Amino acid sequence: MDRLIIFDTTLRDGEQSPGASMTREEKLRIAKQLERLRVDVIEAGFAASSNGDFDAVRAIAGTIKDSTVCSLARANDKDISRAAAALEGAAHKRIHTFIATSPLHMEKKLRMTPDQVFEQAKLAVRFARRFTDDVEFSPEDGYRSDPDFLCRVLEAVIKEGATTINIPDTVGYAVPELYGRFLLDLRERIPNSDKAVWSVHCHNDLGMAVANSLAGVKIGGARQVECTINGLGERAGNCSLEEVVMAVKTRRDFFGLEVGIDTTQIVPASKLVSGITGFVVQPNKAVVGANAFAHASGIHQDGVLKARDTYEIMRAEDVGWSANKIVLGKLSGRNAFKQRVQELAIPIESETELNAAFAKFKELADRKAEIYDEDIQSLFSDEAVTPHNEHFRLVSLAQRSETGEKPHARIVFQIGAEEVTSESDGNGPVDASLRAIERRVKSGAELLLYSVNAITSGTESQGEVTVRLGRAGRIVNGVGADPDIIAASAKAYLSALNKLYTTAERLNPQTSLAP
């Protein structure tokens, strides 16, 4: 059977969404989960974009054994050498080089002639082949490029040794049938097209990234899909991995393709990415949304109870949903906790991390009688278990609110080694708490988003709060979980401040001017 290669770019294209930037440790945790998910290729980053990204790609390359690790590089020797250096320790490595080929991008962004782009593309692939025989080439804004010019460039880069040809719909302009035919036309016209694997890379600006990718596979004959967990990505995001994989698996009768993904790792991957980036998954999101398998109407419930497949085309457990099980409680010991953490396939970096999580578990179990799998997962997405990131940390919070009275909050928190106390009034208890923090920190950041979600069902559920802050063009997200949503809000705000005060600046490949 034909095989479809799953190329995950959560750590590169996904990370380009404002506020989604991740630390090296966070990227490493996600990469390990992607390996458990058995993705074929992990695009770990854009090594030349910053020292931080270089380190992250290098750490992932040195850790991941089963998946191919890839770095993006613009079509120049400097970027490609940097990618090659970061990938040196990889068991399987790929260099992904790109240059824009649409008239608009060549003229306005690159200020290069088509002939110059043609030469540069060839030289880049030739140079990349010095470091690995797995080289991918992308003509950026490929879908809006002139097909004749594209045929000329792609034939030449395949001759130079490109083994994967990726056709990006960079701005999400395509519609399924046209995109599929565009790919087919290229493959039919390029004499050496059979020497490369063809790949699709679709953005979701018109909500068609998944449909376009599947059309590229079905009509265009692509055998690689580039996608991200939860569809994370700039603007409206990228093609979502979970949707493409489950479409191909569920409609195997139509697509006739194999994918190597362990689908039971999809929901854990979704939760990990959402917890780390602070990009909450909408409840009605296909496959990974909280309501994706919830049957509310009586007719549907009745049908599902009688025969599951009356209203279900996939099984929740096949994509990694666990049934909100009460797993542990106040009396559970460290061994029981460790065992459940292992069953949930949560990676534990060290005994220190396990101990920190166990201490937090005990604290939580004192306040919440029933601890669910989701609660345990939230302990590990909480920054409190990775203390090296924490410059700001909540110690305690007291707040008073009463009908007709102005709410007031008093917060004690750590700034580095110093413990500080701050107080404020506010419009509500959340407002008062965040103002109290801001009164002391004076970050001057603008609050761009505040949202609360229940981690499990019922009023005794923990609240998970996401806070998005913006300052001087930089956007960061923070997440905090606690049975008390005011405390969760303060944790989320402090977590966002922790990110705001780290200084990793990165280049964005799509907006950078130089080729």
User: What are the residues binding ligand KIV (CB under 6 A)?
Assistant: 13, 98, 138, 140, 168, 170, 201, 203, 509
Q: In this structure, are residues 326 and 359 in contact, taking their beta carbons and an 8 Å threshold?
A: no
Smallest separation, CB 203 to ligand KIV (Å)? 6
Smallest separation, CB 426 to ligand KIV (Å)? 42
- The residue whose two tokens read 């068609």 is 208
First CA to last CA across the chain, in angstroms?
39
The bridge status of strand 5-8 relative to strand 326-328 is unpaired
Task: Read off the DSSP letter of residue 384.
Answer: G
Nearer to ligand KIV, 15 or 375 (CB): 15
CB-closest chain residue to Zn ion: 13
Smallest separation, CB 257 to ligand KIV (Å)? 22
Nearer to Zn ion, 13 or 79 (CB): 13
Nearer to ligand KIV, 201 or 468 (CB): 201
Nearer to ligand KIV, 22 or 441 (CB): 22
Nearer to Zn ion, 209 or 455 (CB): 209
**What span, in angstroms and rounded, lies between the C-alpha atoms of 249 and 303?**
24
The CA-based dihedral angle spanning residues 149, 155, 161, 165, taken in that order and rounded to the nearest 10 degrees: 70
Smallest separation, CB 213 to Zn ion (Å)? 12
Here the tokens at position 73 are 């590089």
Smallest separation, CB 138 to ligand KIV (Å)? 4
Distance of CA 173 to the CA centre of its chain: 22
Nearer to Zn ion, 13 or 464 (CB): 13
Out of ligand KIV, Zn ion, none, what residue 98 binds, judged by CB under 5 to 8 A for its kind, is ligand KIV
**What span, in angstroms and rounded, lies between the C-alpha atoms of 8 and 241?**
7
Nearer to ligand KIV, 140 or 374 (CB): 140
If 0-12 CB within 10 Å is exposed, 13-18 middle and 19+ buried, where does residue 420 land? middle
Out of ligand KIV, Zn ion, none, what residue 242 binds, judged by CB under 5 to 8 A for its kind, is none
Out of ligand KIV, Zn ion, none, what residue 495 binds, judged by CB under 5 to 8 A for its kind, is none
**What span, in angstroms and rounded, lies between the C-alpha atoms of 286 and 511?**
31
Beta bridge partners of residue 423, listed in sequence order: 410
Nearer to Zn ion, 97 or 453 (CB): 97
Nearer to ligand KIV, 243 or 373 (CB): 243
Smallest separation, CB 238 to Zn ion (Å)? 6
Smallest separation, CB 195 to ligand KIV (Å)? 20
**What span, in angstroms and rounded, lies between the C-alpha atoms of 98 and 345?**
36
Q: In this structure, are residues 471 and 464 in contact, taking their beta carbons and an 8 Å threshold?
A: no
**What span, in angstroms and rounded, lies between the C-alpha atoms of 437 and 397?**
11
Task: Read off the DSSP letter of residue 320.
Answer: T
Smallest separation, CB 324 to ligand KIV (Å)? 37
Task: Read off the DSSP letter of residue 280.
Answer: P
Nearer to ligand KIV, 144 or 340 (CB): 144
The bridge status of strand 392-400 relative to strand 408-415 is antiparallel
Smallest separation, CB 354 to ligand KIV (Å)? 37
Out of Zn ion, ligand KIV, none, what residue 74 binds, judged by CB under 5 to 8 A for its kind, is none
Out of Zn ion, ligand KIV, none, what residue 275 binds, judged by CB under 5 to 8 A for its kind, is none
Out of ligand KIV, Zn ion, none, what residue 140 binds, judged by CB under 5 to 8 A for its kind, is ligand KIV
What stretches of 142-175 show up as alpha helix (H) in DSSP? Answer: 147-160
Smallest separation, CB 140 to ligand KIV (Å)? 4
- The residue whose two tokens read 């096949």 is 318
The CA-based dihedral angle spanning residues 450, 456, 458, 462, taken in that order and rounded to the nearest 10 degrees: -50
- Count of CB atoms within 10 A of residue 510's CB? 18
Q: Which spans of this chain sit near Zn ion (rule: CB under 5 A)?
A: 13
- Integer-rounded Cα radius of gyration of the chain: 24
Q: In this structure, are residues 266 and 259 in contact, taking their beta carbons and an 8 Å threshold?
A: no
